[in-house]
A and B are shown apart, each in its own frame.
Chain A
Amino acid sequence: MSQQVITHGDIKYQEYFLNMGPQHPATHGVLRLILTLDGEEVVGIEPDLGYIHRGIEKMCEYDTYRQIIHLTDRFDYLSSHMNNEAVCLAVEKALEVEVTDRIKVIRTMMDELTRIASHLLWWGVMGMDIGALTTFMYAFRDREMINEIMEKTTGARLTMSYNIPGGVMFDLHKDFQKDVKALIKHMRKVLPEYDRLLTGNIIFQKRMKGVGILSKEDAINYGATGPVARGSGVSCDTRKLEPYSAYDRVEFNEAVETGGDNLARYQVRMQEMYESLRILEQLVDNIPEGDYQVPMRNLIKLPKGEFYQSVETARGEFGVFIVSDGKKNPYRVHFRSPGLNNLNALIKAGVGGKIADLVATMSTFDFVIPDIDR
């Protein structure tokens, strides 16, 4: 990179570079952005990645299909259940296995619990990024309820590895329905409070409205998916477009906002939490009886071919591409991470704003760095 001379009228001065990260609190991990600045204004963003690149795609080539699932937890650790599910659905699609209704409903409920937990963490941390420390305390208190539900059934709090090809690892805990009902009741009470706490706040509005604008055309062109794209008016919810698991039997609305600014992305995620609660309410009393696992061979061999499955994680569309040559290990596995492509969109949305606004914009993009680095 060469430094360029900028002229403002009679004044001439040089652009300068600033490292944001890898240890900046607003990057939520080890993301390093090399910013090119013109005074306070950001004129260029170059991400520097790879601090936690683990080569999972290569590792998968040496693992069996049951082992791969445990690696997928480690991409986007806040949507680990959806990542697991994507691999399981791809394997089931390849083997043409039809799972029972009970499995589908359990998976859908776990997905939505994970989504609420992920959005709660985002809400708390985003508030903290822009200086509202209270949100963090509230969000983590509520997220703890979900983590406990997860722990009771799956035995783990974050990296659950609960899905296996042909079902789920354990049956639901006997308290599951009771706990989920308590969670729904609690969330219905606190979510409007959170709206009052942050959404209507004048300082918050000033940080959010009209900042970090990503137009609809740019969102598509730069490859954004998930709440980032939906905040720009792109209808791209995989749960609606290509329903998997039990999403075809529940009613919910796709949250789409047309503002394209930080506030729109914020409102999409807030609405999604309400929609997730709606899905849970429809399913919690209607968990069908049946097996929680379909018998499958211990060593799974997929037929020759290529299989693609995408699911909607809390951050966007996550895709799994498996090429099989008929052996116990895949020939090639590719993961389409929503984070990497949303980062591409941040380059567009962040340029032209002030450096302080970039912190707010980054927090509404909601990055999880292991998802970008893989």
Chain B
Amino acid sequence: MTNREIITHITAWNNETVFRSNTENEEKTINVLDEWSKTIVNVEIPASILIPFMKKLKEDPELDFDFLFDMIGMDWGKELGILYYLKSTNKGHKLIVRIKIEDRENPEVETLENIWKSAHLQEREIFDLFGIRFNGHSNLKRIFLREDFKGYPLRKDYEDDYMIIRK
């Protein structure tokens, strides 16, 4: 499928009731981000529909995204976010799915471990460095830093007087 076909295929899901977010304020829940979509299709979805959306991406025979290649935690300043980089080993196409998490104090999102097992260590890494909790993860604890480490280093507001010198 070309990028254009993927976009039309995915945006058509906006009509399905599963993908209506609970708030009902926004009309579209699946937004294609044109500015990032020159090479890889980028879609942004609300975190509330993450699980049904990802399941559909994997199970849809035309899309067949069977490989969660990468998970990238982001700190956009006001909100945290996660980028899911998906690939299809059979069809050869790629997709980036973005979610934003506005609650910085207690960020939570559902785990994708039950859909792609490769999320297991990648989610632990994001939990360790960004402090985003994954509900339902089988073994969510710090992966690189020690258990009693304070703070989440890859956040932009992380302070460390000794290790980080701000100019």
Which A residues lie at the B interface, using CB under 8 A? 46-47, 49-50, 53, 55, 57-58, 62, 218, 220-223, 234-236, 241, 305-306, 308, 317, 319, 321, 323, 332, 334, 336, 340-341, 343-344, 347-348, 373-374
What residues of chain A lie closer than 8 Å to B75, measured between beta carbons? 332
| B144: Cβ under 8 A from any A Cβ | yes
| Stretch with Cβ within 8 A of A (4 or more), from B5-13, B22-30, B103-111, B114-122 | B114-122
Out of A46, A47, A336, name the residue touching B70 (CB < 8 Å): A336
Out of A50, A235, A336, A348, name the residue touching B144 (CB < 8 Å): A50
What residues of chain B lie closer than 8 Å to A347, measured between beta carbons? 120
User: In whole angstroms, what is the CA distance A345 to B79 when docked?
Assistant: 32
Contact assessment for A223 and B143 in the assembled complex, using a CB-CB cutoff below 8 Å? no
Contact assessment for B66 and A321 in the assembled complex, using a CB-CB cutoff below 8 Å? no
> Which interface residue of A46, A62, A241, A334 has the most chain B CB atoms within 10 A?
A334
What residues of chain A lie closer than 8 Å to B144, measured between beta carbons? 49-50, 53, 373-374
User: In whole angstroms, what is the CA distance A55 to B154 when docked?
Assistant: 9
Known: A220-B67, A308-B85, A340-B125. 10 other contacts (CB 8 A): A53-B144, A57-B154, A58-B153, A220-B89, A222-B117, A319-B69, A334-B73, A336-B69, A341-B118, A341-B121
User: In whole angstroms, what is the CA distance A319 to B96 when docked?
Assistant: 14
Out of B36, B120, B164, name the residue touching A306 (CB < 8 Å): B36
A58-B153, A220-B66, A223-B67 are contacts. A332–B121 as well, Cβ < 8 Å? no
Contact assessment for B68 and A236 in the assembled complex, using a CB-CB cutoff below 8 Å? no
User: In whole angstroms, what is the CA distance A87 to B117 when docked?
Assistant: 28
What residues of chain B lie closer than 8 Å to A62, measured between beta carbons? 164
Cβ distance B74 to chain A, nearest Cβ, rounded Å:
6
Secondary structure of the A contact surface, majority rule: mixed
What residues of chain B lie closer than 8 Å to A334, measured between beta carbons? 70, 72-73
Contact assessment for B118 and A344 in the assembled complex, using a CB-CB cutoff below 8 Å? yes
* A–B complex contacts, Cβ < 8 Å, 18 sampled: A49-B144, A50-B144, A57-B129, A58-B153, A220-B89, A221-B116, A221-B117, A223-B69, A223-B116, A223-B118, A305-B36, A321-B83, A332-B74, A336-B69, A336-B70, A340-B125, A347-B120, A374-B144
A332-B75, A336-B70 are contacts. A223–B153 as well, Cβ < 8 Å? no
Contact assessment for A308 and B40 in the assembled complex, using a CB-CB cutoff below 8 Å? yes
What residues of chain B lie closer than 8 Å to A223, measured between beta carbons? 67-69, 116-118, 122
Contact assessment for A53 and B145 in the assembled complex, using a CB-CB cutoff below 8 Å? yes
User: In whole angstroms, what is the CA distance A53 to B74 when docked?
Assistant: 19
User: In whole angstroms, what is the CA distance A319 to B120 when docked?
Assistant: 18
Out of A46, A221, A235, name the residue touching B66 (CB < 8 Å): A221
What residues of chain A lie closer than 8 Å to B89, measured between beta carbons? 220, 234-236
User: In whole angstroms, what is the CA distance A321 to B98 when docked?
Assistant: 14
What residues of chain A lie closer than 8 Å to B154, measured between beta carbons? 57-58, 332
What residues of chain B lie closer than 8 Å to A220, measured between beta carbons? 66-67, 89
User: In whole angstroms, what is the CA distance A137 to B116 when docked?
Assistant: 41
| B52: Cβ under 8 A from any A Cβ | no
What residues of chain A lie closer than 8 Å to B139, measured between beta carbons? 46
User: In whole angstroms, what is the CA distance A222 to B122 when docked?
Assistant: 11
> Nearest residue in A to B38 (C-beta to C-beta)?
A305
Cβ distance B92 to chain A, nearest Cβ, rounded Å:
7
Contact assessment for B153 and A340 in the assembled complex, using a CB-CB cutoff below 8 Å? no
| B150: Cβ under 8 A from any A Cβ | no
| B4: Cβ under 8 A from any A Cβ | no
User: In whole angstroms, what is the CA distance A8 to B92 when docked?
Assistant: 47
> Nearest residue in A to B66 (C-beta to C-beta)?
A220
